[in-house]
């Protein structure tokens, strides 16, 4: 009996201990998650500014942008309130694909400067409380990379398996029907060793074999090299292509395809894109970045694919990319209506599972500029859209001043994407202030006399000031930091939505139409005060939601008063 009493004391003690351990573990997990969320804030709340380094600012006078040029322009970002810079590749490269053909992942191409310049850029950005992200190009190297030179030197090279080599097909010719993204067979023949190597882009960009553990280790060392230097994260290039079918099966032709589209679009890429193995690799990278506890390092994926394939790259347990780029808005052009914009936004948000962080992109170095596709007069409205949608906004350099594609004569084009990579338009002087050199690597767009940062800085009603106001809005009001978002009205011209959190409530109304518009937003009642007008004229004006008037391409960001109520949510 006594023993039984003692036993139950022990049992009670053990039970209490167990409960405490459970509570402690849950509490610790909760604290860690909270801590992690706090560390992630920097890229959730700030805008990411995408710099194409060769075109941003030349400091040496050789007609190419460089790292010192970026250092010299850091004040610009302070003026705008931009806190995160992402640079397209700056590594040693023969520049066949403008730096996406890397021949040394751990050095700076002389075109951009040297490692001292890089360290200074990193130090200066950090000193200003900013973050710096780089491009990571793991799918392929340059054919001049020592790894590939070694690999192609002999079938018995210790690095032969670092790339994807195959014998010719039985009757001769490439091993299978795979096609490069840039057109033509994805295989090139190496006469010396009598085999074909795989390249999903140019022939000068042989694909690494990421199934090989030594290759993955070497790539991890590349990541660590930059992370140890203090880099804040990476945009990962060409993610869908990381690994291919290990049986190298032919890809089927699509049941329907447009013969005028590039050859790559004719095939169903079931053996070369988005294989499950890719996710395992991305998880390894995420885990590697998570080892850096001093500050959160971000990983963003470039995935050109259908939405479900893109979304998978968040990872089931948020263990892959912090976000894969959302390229939905890249499809906008002058045929699109407000309803089409709504469609893109709602499809994306509907596909996004709970707990995943959204993001928005209007342009990048691979596609024509948004101002050229949609028309320059809509650039202000599009910046309002970009910076008021829920999630991280990414701006391609020059979008903040409404840059459009440069005209590059076909015969002098080095790449079909040259027009959207033209030099940043800083001022109305020679070469738009981009370079003091005589010959630029690409011409400046003709409109630089009026479309430039300096002129717009002097004009308080300019797009640059609008952009700056939008960045300020995002940091001043908590409803732009969270994800509260509801569409309250849409027709062919008008898109209206609210952003809200607690008492913080804003209504955004955008006219994507070709004419002025006056009407009632039947999803919402009451009134508010204009906080931002895309035309930079109506700030402080009181607006009744049953009678809103907007010029063509005008957008208003209206702070809702306490009395406003969403009458009914028309959409969502
Ligand atoms: C990515 C880059 C593009 C490059 C390709 C091959 O899509 O954005 O510029 O040509 O990868 O590296």
Which of 89, 99, 100 is the pocket-test mutation for ligand 1 (most atoms within 8 Å of CB)? 100
C-alpha torsion sign, points 173, 179, 183, 188: negative
Q: How would residue 70 be classed by pLDDT, with cut points 50, 70 and 90?
A: very high
Query: Is the pLDDT reported for residue 124 higher than 60?
Result: yes
446 by Cβ neighbours in 10 Å (0-12 / 13-18 / 19+) ranks as exposed
Q: Poorest-confidence range of 48-57, 199-208, 563-572?
A: 563-572
C-alpha torsion sign, points 276, 277, 278, 282: positive
Cα-to-centroid distance, 137 and ligand 1 (Å): 9
Ligand 1 atom nearest 140 alpha carbon = 12
Provide the pLDDT for residue 522: 83
Is the distance from the beta carbon of residue 237 to the nearest atom of ligand 1 less than 6 Å?
Answer: yes
Q: How would residue 450 be classed by pLDDT, with cut points 50, 70 and 90?
A: very high
Would you call 237 a catalytic residue per the annotation?
Answer: yes
C-alpha torsion sign, points 416, 417, 420, 426: negative
Query: Is the pLDDT reported for residue 293 higher than 60?
Result: yes
Sheet holding 187-190, edge to edge: 165-166, 195-198, 187-190
- Asked if residues 566 and 524 have their Cβ atoms less than 8 Å apart, the reply is yes
- Asked if residues 266 and 287 have their Cβ atoms less than 8 Å apart, the reply is no
Cα-to-centroid distance, 110 and ligand 1 (Å): 21
Closest CA to 135 of 70, 103, 90: 90
465 CB-near residues (< 8 Å, 6+ apart): 456, 457, 459, 536
Would you call 207 a catalytic residue per the annotation?
Answer: no
Locate 459 and state its tokens: 């004009």
Ligand 1 atom nearest 139 alpha carbon = 12
Locate 63 and state its tokens: 């007609």
- Between these two residues, 10 and 335, which has the higher pLDDT value? 335
Residues 484-494 have a mean pLDDT of 97
Locate 466 and state its tokens: 């609008």
Beta pairing class for 48-51 and 392-396: parallel
Cα-to-centroid distance, 102 and ligand 1 (Å): 12
Provide the pLDDT for residue 1: 47
Residues 235-263 have a mean pLDDT of 96
Determine which residue's CA is closest to atom 11 belonging to ligand 1.
238
Say if pTM beats, i.e. exceeds, 0.75.
yes
Ligand 1 atom nearest 97 alpha carbon = 10
Q: What is the pLDDT of residues 1-42, one digit of tens each?
A: 455 678 888 888 999 999 999 999 888 888 888 888 888 899
Q: Which of 58, 66, 101, 237 is catalytic?
A: 237
Closest CA to 517 of 544, 487, 554, 488: 554
Q: What percent of the chain has a predicted confidence (pLDDT) above 90? A: 91
Sheet holding 485-490, edge to edge: 485-490, 494-501, 504-511, 555-560, 527-533, 542-544
Cα 498 to Cα 513: distance, rounded to the nearest angstrom: 20
Q: Which of 302, 400, 531, 533 is catalytic?
A: 302
Cα-to-centroid distance, 274 and ligand 1 (Å): 16
Q: Poorest-confidence range of 24-38, 46-60, 328-342, 471-485?
A: 24-38
Q: What is the pLDDT of residues 462-484, one digit of tens each?
A: 999 999 999 999 999 999 999 99
Q: Which residue is associated with the tokens 């609210």?
A: 498
Is the distance from the beta carbon of residue 100 to the nearest atom of ligand 1 less than 6 Å?
Answer: yes
Cα 102 to Cα 203: distance, rounded to the nearest angstrom: 13
Is the distance from the beta carbon of residue 201 to the nearest atom of ligand 1 less than 6 Å?
Answer: yes
Is the distance from the beta carbon of residue 204 to the nearest atom of ligand 1 less than 6 Å?
Answer: no
Beta pairing class for 527-533 and 485-490: unpaired
Is the distance from the beta carbon of residue 135 to the nearest atom of ligand 1 less than 6 Å?
Answer: no
Provide the pLDDT for residue 570: 46
């Amino acid at each position: 009996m006594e023993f039984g009493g003692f036993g139950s004391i022990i049992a009670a003690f053990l039970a209490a201990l167990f409960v405490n351990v459970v509570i402690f573990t849950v509490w610790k997990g909760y604290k860690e998650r909270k801590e992690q969320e706090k560390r992630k804030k920097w890229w959730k709340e700030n805008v990411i500014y995408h710099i194409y380094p060769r075109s941003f600012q030349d400091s040496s006078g050789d007609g190419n942008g460089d790292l010192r040029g970026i250092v010299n322009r850091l004040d610009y970002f302070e003026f705008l309130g931009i806190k995160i810079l992402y640079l397209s590749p700056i590594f040693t490269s023969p520049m066949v694909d403008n730096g996406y053909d890397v021949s040394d992942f751990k050095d700076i191409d002389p075109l951009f400067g040297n490692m001292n310049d890089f360290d200074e850029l990193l130090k200066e950005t950090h000193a200003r409380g900013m973050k710096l992200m780089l491009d990571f190009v793991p799918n392929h190297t340059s054919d001049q990379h020592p790894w590939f030179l070694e690999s192609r030197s002999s079938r018995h090279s210790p690095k032969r398996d670092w790339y994807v080599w195959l014998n010719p097909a039985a009757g001769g010719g490439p091993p299978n029907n795979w096609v490069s993204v840039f057109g033509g067979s994805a295989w090139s023949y190496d006469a010396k060793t009598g085999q074909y190597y795989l390249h999903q882009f140019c022939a000068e960009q042989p694909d690494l074999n990421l199934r090989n553990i030594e290759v993955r280790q070497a790539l991890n060392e590349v990541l660590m090299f930059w992370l140890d230097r203090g880099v804040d994260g990476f945009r990962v290039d060409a993610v869908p292509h990381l690994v291919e079918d290990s049986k190298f099966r032919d890809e089927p032709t699509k049941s329907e395809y447009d013969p005028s589209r590039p050859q790559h679009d004719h095939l169903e890429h079931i053996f070369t894109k988005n294989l499950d193995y890719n996710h395992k690799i991305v998880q390894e990278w995420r885990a590697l970045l998570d080892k850096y506890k001093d500050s959160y390092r971000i990983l963003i994926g470039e995935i050109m694919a259908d939405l479900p394939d893109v979304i998978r790259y968040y990872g089931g347990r948020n263990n892959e990319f912090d976000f894969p780029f959302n390229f939905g808005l890249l499809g906008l052009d002058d045929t699109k209506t407000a309803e089409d914009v709504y469609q893109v936004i709602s499809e994306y948000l509907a596909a996004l599972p709970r707990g995943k962080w959204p993001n928005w992109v209007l342009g990048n170095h691979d596609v024509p500029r948004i101002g050229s596709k949609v028309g320059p007069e809509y650039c202000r409205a599009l910046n309002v859209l970009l910076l008021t949608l829920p999630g991280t906004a990414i701006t391609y350099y020059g979008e903040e001043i409404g840059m459009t594609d440069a005209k590059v004569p076909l015969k002098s084009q080095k790449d079909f994407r040259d027009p959207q990579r033209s030099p940043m338009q800083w001022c109305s002087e020679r070469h738009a202030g981009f370079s003091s050199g005589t010959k630029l690597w690409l011409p400046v767009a003709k409109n630089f006399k009026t479309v430039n940062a300096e002129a717009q800085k002097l004009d308080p009603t300019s797009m640059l000031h609008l952009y700056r106001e939008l960045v300020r809005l995002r940091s001043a009001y908590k409803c732009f930091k969270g994800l509260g978002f509801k569409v309250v009205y849409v027709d062919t011209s008008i898109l209206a939505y609210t952003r809200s959190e607690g008492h913080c409530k804003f209504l955004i109304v955008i006219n994507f139409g070709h004419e002025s518009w006056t009407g009632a937003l039947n999803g919402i009642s009451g009134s508010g005060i204009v906080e931002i007008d895309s035309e930079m004229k109506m700030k402080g004006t009181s607006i009744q939601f049953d009678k809103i008037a907007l010029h063509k391409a005008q957008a208003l960001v209206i702070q809702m008063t306490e009395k406003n109520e969403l009458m009914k949510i028309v959409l969502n």
